[in-house]
Structure 1
């Protein structure tokens, strides 16, 4: 089937408490010379717009937005809502939104597989998400139809369930397709043991040196 150019925005979640890392922000951890936030934004290359949801990330590549869920630490559903609002306010109207947590250092190969699944054929579901060979899905690595995801946010908010809401609750009504991605590509960093196993370290440098910020 004829391929088409995927029209999507990227929403990077970077606002968790990192409690099992002693509060060290995951976005600043370093993997193969780049921060995990840099890795996430690189994985989302080609997005019409990108937004980072979480604490002040400092300097970002030009054009990348930043915002924060309200109240802070209100959970992933509230973070997705904040990111979608920021993208809409910036005038974005992309058909799909790529949602990524910023704690998966090898996520790029998973995103490539997900993109091919969308680009190679007509796609009728509400979205697709990464799935490991063991059958475990990763809801924070998926492409979702923007209009459907926005409706899901509004529906959750109408039940006063957005604050502290989970991704599972947010996506419960969506017709989603699972796509098997390369082994290890969605491994995430929750603990220092995870970090050590993945070759991730605390790092000390500022991300995105010599680049202008945008908000």
Structure 2
């Protein structure tokens, strides 16, 4: 595989028309669709809805979707959710069975000649990275993938020509993306890190990964909604006489998102208020957040 240095492409890719052929972000003649795989089991997160977890005030899957704003169609393989609102949702059979069945479920929804294949847990992926992949894929003819600092291909961060991908998938009987995509001999792109030191291919598999991503986005600033939340949390703590160190903001936001999705949107702020009352009264159990999250999921299944 030929390695492209993505320093110029990924750091400052232009959206000017790409006249040389192949996919090109910002050029209507080079149309691509995007597929986000968001239906895994998230075993290292205790089976939580990983793509729906908040990082920097937005869910992981929303952040990945923001990296492909020019996609003609956005296909999300995973449970239906409110966001991204413009996405087409589909499910692998059976749910949680892996990336190959997920790709099989997604490709019938793809109509563009090129497709970006992305994991639903990469909060630092940017449109410039997709543009760099597009140019490298055009040069290779079949596709391109990002590589990490050690040069390892990241198979869920790539751009692919749909006809050869479809033929390969039809003939493939294995279970790994490497086994499917490697023989297509894609170009590779090594992107630079974000100013905060986070790589485009960084994914959130564990709670430590999530915390690291949250801290990096909070430190980066740049008008991120999480900075507004941080300022508002501090102001509210001052008004209410609460130690800010006691407020696990992201955990509460994750909880209210679970309740809004599993019960009803108005139930989310009410739940946070009731939890606050219980905390203040000293009656909330130590695992109150986990209990309420479990209750919201049971409510969704039962109703």
Instruction: Give the TM-score taking structure 1 as reference length.
Output: 0.81
Residue 119 of structure 2 corresponds to residue 101 of structure 1:
yes
Which blocks of at least 5 consecutive residues in structure 2 are unaligned?
1-16, 20-26, 194-198, 216-249, 266-303
Aligned to 2:228: none
Q: 2:137 & 2:114 partners in 1: Cα distance? A: 15
- Give secondary structure in 2 for the equivalent of 1:107: coil
Which blocks of at least 5 consecutive residues in structure 1 are unaligned?
210-215
- C-alpha RMSD over aligned residues: 2.3
Aligned to 2:190: 180
Moved more, 52-61 or 125-134: 52-61
- When Rg is computed on C-alpha atoms for both structures, the one with the higher figure is 2
Instruction: Give the TM-score taking structure 2 as reference length.
Output: 0.59
Matches within 5 A, 1:102-121: 102-108=120-126, 111-116=127-132, 118-119=134-135
Residue 13 of structure 2 corresponds to residue 3 of structure 1:
no
Point out which structure has higher relative CO (alpha carbons under 8 A, 6+ apart). 1
Question: 1 or 2, which has the higher strand percentage?
Answer: 1
Question: Is the 8 Å Cα contact of residues 114 and 130 (structure 1) preserved in structure 2?
Answer: no
Aligned residues: 193
Aligned to 1:67: 90
Is the alpha carbon distance of 1:121 and 1:86 closer, same or farther for their aligned partners in structure 2, counting shifts above 3 Å?
Answer: closer
Question: Is the 8 Å Cα contact of residues 129 and 200 (structure 2) preserved in structure 1?
Answer: no
Residue 55 of structure 2 corresponds to residue 55 of structure 1:
no
Which of 92, 96, 99 is the matching residue for 1:76?
99
Aligned to 2:171: 155
